[in-house]
Structure 1
Amino acid sequence: MRIGILTEGGYPYVSGDASPWCDRLVRGLAQHEFDVYALSRSERHEDEGWLPLPSQVRRVRTAPLWAAEDDGVAYGRRARRRFAECYGELAAVLCAGVAPEGGRLSEGSDESSARAGASSATAVDEPSATLADRFASALYGLAELAREEGGLVGALRSETAVRALERACRAPGALRTAHEARVPDLLTVAAHLEHALRPLSLDWYEDDGLGSVDLCHAASGGAAALPGLLARHFTGVPLLVTEYGVRLRTHYLAATDSSPAVRSLLAAFHGRLAAEIYRQAAYITPGNAHARRWQERCGADRTKLRTVYPGMDAGPFAEVGESPERAAPDTLVWVGRVEPAKDLISLLHAFAEIHKDEPGTRLRIVGAPAGPEGTAYLTHCKALAAQLFPDEADGPHAVGDNPVSFEEIGGPETPTLADAYASGAVIVLSSVVEGFPISLAEAMFCGRATVSTDVGAVVEVIGGTGLVVPPRNPRALAEACMALLRDPERRERLGAAARARALELFTVEQNVAAFHGIYLEIVSHCPVRRAVLDDTGDPLPFAVPAEAHVPGRWTAAASRMVARGGPGWAAGPPVPATRVPAAEAAR
């Protein structure tokens, strides 16, 4: 089977959220061929280079999402009219509603800001299904125009696009927030749409590109899935979408600093795009139930959803998990990226309460800051720690006696990630926003008892093998940590149960096996797009059944059967013939 992996800011680049699990998936399915189509996010992202690629990666095609020079395409009058009609229709749909199915997102405190951005624009007069069809028609119309005329970059940046957006916002019946858009708002929205629609101008959708694969697998929603959406439209290639973090949720949370008009229009665009991707996908694989609920409320058909947990390498944590006695009985450990969403402030206040009752306890905060905001937050946390523990911070033995330490992986105290988890009796997660908590799963591989806040997929990951408390509640966090610090037998029991659960659900092996089965299921339900012809030039119906894609001794036998006329089940209604390369026919 030939699979097209679609990524945005991930595999095969060294950095990127999707790089590790994509690399493990590709290496675990050595019996298949992979074509990688990658959108890069920045010049630095490209300069960091690629991961070493296995032999089953047949080719890699990349495109910069962060820059698009004017392609110099000059549309004629007819093409300009087509663009104005399609873009105007797209803008009209955005002004008619924010999100599919009403866009009601009422799950968890971390989504409150997202709801605030769209709350004033959820009522629509037109049926949602009609709006979805109009959005799809406009989107594919723009894609077809780009395919025929050579690109959309100049057109999307033109005054025609801004004026079409303005007319849609001023039209009777437009949402109040859209009607209030000012010129700076229109320019901001037009620039964002130009950036988001850049994949429409790529030359990836021909027969020698995505048209040659058996299946497109998008490693995330949004921009990564858009090429798969177009490949399905142009050539009928089935699409599988995996979301370990729902991109639509990310857009909602990131738009809080914009004006109401900008938030409304961008939420409408990303909501409609997500709904169209979900509608056209053969299957959607969320990484947890939290993501699954988001997808359902954004228009995903429940029958298409298959939860597949991230595949993680348990090997580096095996020694720690099998040696629970290495843990320091009075030490709490936090591991992750240092940023405000991790709420280390609440953790420090909770530890202050713990340290009053148990002066011998220690807290190790292990992680690097995430960008300038993370660096500023780390400085603030260090200042708070010095304020909460003035005696230890200013005493003659400040370095050795300070109960709070800030460390990074690779230092003398924590040379590896496994060493960080090994040093603590209890692993703590204090986040107020979380998707799939990777650090929590790693702690479970290490057989450590955990205390976590109830956010994202935490409860689903823990599954009763750790303690869970409300977010932003230092007292509850302190009481839960104290309960485990004072009960070593309970810690050992919970740690053993956590390790067993992690080994059952979150390993690379289970992830690879799940996707392999889904690949075969999708291909077995899709019509044959390339017919095999016999000696007379007539198509051979059912010449490439699903099992023919699986290497093994039966493949050659199946080919011989087809050459002789095929088995009894091959005599069915004819399949429309399409051109097939010789290499594809051989498979």
Structure 2
Amino acid sequence: MLVRIGLLTDGGYPYATGESRLWCDRLVRGLPQHEFDLFALSRSADQERQGWVRLPDRVGRVRTAPMWTREEDARSPRRTGRFATGLGRSYGRRDRRRFTAHVTALVGAVCAGVETEPGAGGADTRPASARFTDGLYGLAELARDGGGLRDALRSEASVRIVQAACRAPGTGRTVHGATVPDYLAFVAELERALRPLSLDWYEEDGLGGVDLCHAASGGTAALPGLLAKRFFGVPLLVTEHGVPLRAHYLAAPEAPLGAPVRAMLANFHGLLAAEVYRQAAIVTPGNTHVRRWQERFGAHRDKLRTVYPGMEAERFGDVGEGDDAGGPGTLVWIGRIEPAKDLIALLHAFAEVRRAEPDARLRIFGAPVPGAEGETYLAHCRALAAQLFPDEAMDAHTVGDNPVTFEEIGGPEVPDLAEAYAAGGVVILSSVVEGFPISLVEAMFCGRATVSTDVGAVVEVVGGTGVVVPPRNPRALADACVALLRDPERRARLGAAARARALELFTVEQNLAAFRDIYLDLAGHAPARWATPVDPRDPAGPPRPFATPPEAHVLGATRPGPVATRAPAGAGRVPSWAIGATGVCAGARGAGDGDA
């Protein structure tokens, strides 16, 4: 059974950069019996400038849209998608009333917050979630009927609505203390978050023509899926390997925004996450840590199916199946060098290890995260290492003579990632913040014993095949490392058990098998499709079970387009899927035949 999947991404696939790129590419290539249409949001001009990865033949259409504007990035290339921005168009009196009512409902819910009792935010006695969804879908219908929302959302009217909502009785102290700059900042952030509502994707030849939508993350990426379900009844599948809401909370204190704006954005993203989980047919967390966050924000347990990220075990096969235990007295750390990885605690722990095992070595493989913060943190770590080991230089080219080295993978001595893991007998993860620990799984594929801090999904990944200690505890980290360095037989047992566990749970094959079953399950239980977009107030209408002709399911055959019963709202404009990354019209696969 061939299923046509609308894959929704935000800042990832098919672009050459992005966190979801590898996983989405493996999914598309690993399920040749299905067809994928890509609906991708880009995050910056630089991301678009770097182009796309080469797409497989089973990718049908590619429609892209930027989540940035020329004003936000003066170096913007020619845009690869189209927004119905409503430029040059004025709302009529009826549409102005609709806009005001919908924005008032949405912003009122956001300012009241998810924890506020019904009615506390003013005359509207409905719960915040009901007001939020009414406002969200009302704005989506307004954008679809008569153009985009960008100018209206950035108007003075929106600022006045935000001001009134912040000052309404029952709002929290933080939001109530907002000032004019806060109103303006929140309006700008709200317009960015709601840009997917103004896309030209919600037609029969867009998201209305797929069998199901698969959002590669929650948050903004899932917004088009919500509207596809609203307008066409398309079932929605949401996959989260991390939690966008958690990432927003972690980044909020560092954002250049005032406390009232951060509070309102937190409420907005919390309400949006709850609606995504409520409307999704199935939600697939990448691990139990993510699952707990989803349940906290309203995901029903009956909808949740944990699917671990698939990783390529073959690249680590030679190390994992070999008899070489690496440097028996060497500890290895691999990852991005940033404060969340807590290399400071690792270096203090290694100082304790050296006192117990004078011949021990620590090899740190990684590069700092881009930007001044990453470089500063790396310099701080190097300075601390020099202070803790004052008599020995930090020269990475004479590894055998130094207790601590900072190295990058790709040189003649360590040409690839597998060789880095092979360099030591024990692999360490010292993070204080972690989602799904990819480096830990790679170490397990390599058959290495591990010592990890108890953060994120670490305990779930390791099971009983490694040693787990509390975070921010150099003494516990040192004791665990010393115990493994002194017990080679235990190291070997743990390494073999870790490899067996990784091969059972974390391979690409298990990931593909899980999604193959989920796709067929959703497609098999989906109701008959409708000839026109579903009106949520009156869903009656003639079903169209034969809208997609049988020959469309033959791979390589020419697929006739779906039968349209009305002229598209955007008739006459160039659809975004027909424009490649360079701005020229492309064929059925857009610019996917090669790098843009």
When normalised by structure 1's length, the TM-score is: 0.85
Amino acid at match of 1:156: L
* CA distance, structure 1, for counterparts of residue 281 and residue 553 of structure 2: 20
Shift of 1:324: 3.9
* CA distance, structure 2, for counterparts of residue 66 and residue 465 of structure 1: 45
* CA distance, structure 2, for counterparts of residue 71 and residue 391 of structure 1: 67
* CA distance, structure 2, for counterparts of residue 90 and residue 345 of structure 1: 44
SS at match of 2:523: helix
* CA distance, structure 1, for counterparts of residue 274 and residue 553 of structure 2: 33
Matched, 1:341 2:340: yes
Amino acid at match of 2:34: H
* CA distance, structure 2, for counterparts of residue 417 and residue 124 of structure 1: 57
Amino acid at match of 1:313: E
The answer to whether the 8 Å contact 2:103/2:158 transfers is yes
Q: Spell out the pairing of 1:255-334 with structure 2 (5 A cutoff).
A: 255-257=252-254, 258-334=257-333
* CA distance, structure 2, for counterparts of residue 460 and residue 204 of structure 1: 39
Amino acid at match of 1:218: A
Deviations 1:218-249 (A, max 9, x none): 00001111111111111111100000001111
SS at match of 1:12: coil
Partner in structure 1 of residue 16 of structure 2: 14
Partner in structure 1 of residue 55 of structure 2: 53
Deviations 1:412-450 (A, max 9, x none): 232101011011100000000000000000100000000
1:80 maps to which of 73, 79, 96:
96
* CA distance, structure 2, for counterparts of residue 324 and residue 4 of structure 1: 45
The answer to whether the 8 Å contact 2:118/2:126 transfers is no
Q: Spell out the pairing of 1:170-209 with structure 2 (5 A cutoff).
A: 170-209=167-206
Shift of 1:52: 1.3
The answer to whether the 8 Å contact 1:213/1:237 transfers is yes
When normalised by structure 2's length, the TM-score is: 0.84
* CA distance, structure 1, for counterparts of residue 140 and residue 485 of structure 2: 59
Partner in structure 2 of residue 94 of structure 1: 110
* CA distance, structure 2, for counterparts of residue 153 and residue 394 of structure 1: 54
Shift of 1:548: 12
Partner in structure 1 of residue 473 of structure 2: 473
* CA distance, structure 2, for counterparts of residue 421 and residue 15 of structure 1: 25
Which gives a bigger RCO, structure 1 or 2 (Cα 8 Å, sep 6+)? 2
Matched, 1:228 2:228: no
Shift of 1:375: 1.6
The answer to whether the 8 Å contact 1:530/1:579 transfers is no
SS at match of 2:41: strand
SS at match of 2:247: helix
Shift of 1:327: 0.8
* CA distance, structure 2, for counterparts of residue 524 and residue 548 of structure 1: 19
Shift of 1:75: 2.0
CA spacing shift, 1:141–1:365, aligned 2, 3 Å: same
Shift of 1:20: 0.6
Shift of 1:543: 6.7
Single out whichever of 425-434 and 64-73 deviates more from structure 2.
64-73
Amino acid at match of 1:407: E
Matched, 1:149 2:146: yes
SS at match of 1:330: strand
Shift of 1:199: 0.5
SS at match of 2:5: strand
Shift of 1:394: 8.0
Aligned length in residues: 527
SS at match of 2:392: helix
Amino acid at match of 1:186: Y
* CA distance, structure 1, for counterparts of residue 365 and residue 117 of structure 2: 42
* CA distance, structure 2, for counterparts of residue 401 and residue 62 of structure 1: 52
The answer to whether the 8 Å contact 1:418/1:446 transfers is yes
Amino acid at match of 2:11: G
Matched, 1:351 2:350: yes
CA spacing shift, 1:337–1:142, aligned 2, 3 Å: same
Partner in structure 2 of residue 406 of structure 1: 406
Partner in structure 1 of residue 389 of structure 2: 389
SS at match of 1:24: helix
SS at match of 2:344: helix
CA spacing shift, 1:479–1:129, aligned 2, 3 Å: farther
SS at match of 2:425: strand
Structure 2: runs of 5+ lacking an equivalent: 72-84, 532-540, 556-562, 567-596
The answer to whether the 8 Å contact 1:205/1:211 transfers is yes
SS at match of 2:253: coil
Partner in structure 2 of residue 555 of structure 1: none
Determine what percentage of the aligned residue pairs are the same residue.
66
* CA distance, structure 2, for counterparts of residue 542 and residue 188 of structure 1: 47
Single out whichever of 260-269 and 36-45 deviates more from structure 2.
260-269
CA spacing shift, 1:182–1:313, aligned 2, 3 Å: same
Partner in structure 2 of residue 140 of structure 1: 137
Partner in structure 2 of residue 569 of structure 1: none
* CA distance, structure 2, for counterparts of residue 190 and residue 39 of structure 1: 21
Amino acid at match of 1:21: W
The answer to whether the 8 Å contact 2:12/2:40 transfers is yes
Single out whichever of 400-409 and 336-345 deviates more from structure 2.
400-409
Partner in structure 1 of residue 583 of structure 2: none
SS at match of 2:504: helix
Shift of 1:399: 6.3
Amino acid at match of 2:215: A
SS at match of 1:284: strand
Partner in structure 1 of residue 240 of structure 2: 243
Single out whichever of 438-447 and 70-79 deviates more from structure 2.
70-79
SS at match of 2:432: coil
* CA distance, structure 1, for counterparts of residue 60 and residue 204 of structure 2: 16
Partner in structure 2 of residue 490 of structure 1: 490
Structure 1: runs of 5+ lacking an equivalent: 103-120, 532-537, 553-576, 581-587
Shift of 1:130: 2.8
Amino acid at match of 2:283: I
* CA distance, structure 2, for counterparts of residue 541 and residue 366 of structure 1: 57
Shift of 1:540: 8.9
CA spacing shift, 1:209–1:549, aligned 2, 3 Å: closer
The answer to whether the 8 Å contact 1:311/1:507 transfers is yes
Which one has a larger percent helix, Structure 1 or Structure 2?
1
1:43 maps to which of 18, 42, 45:
45
Shift of 1:89: 1.1
* CA distance, structure 2, for counterparts of residue 451 and residue 551 of structure 1: 51
* CA distance, structure 1, for counterparts of residue 364 and residue 26 of structure 2: 29
* CA distance, structure 1, for counterparts of residue 70 and residue 349 of structure 2: 49
Amino acid at match of 1:80: R
Shift of 1:474: 0.4
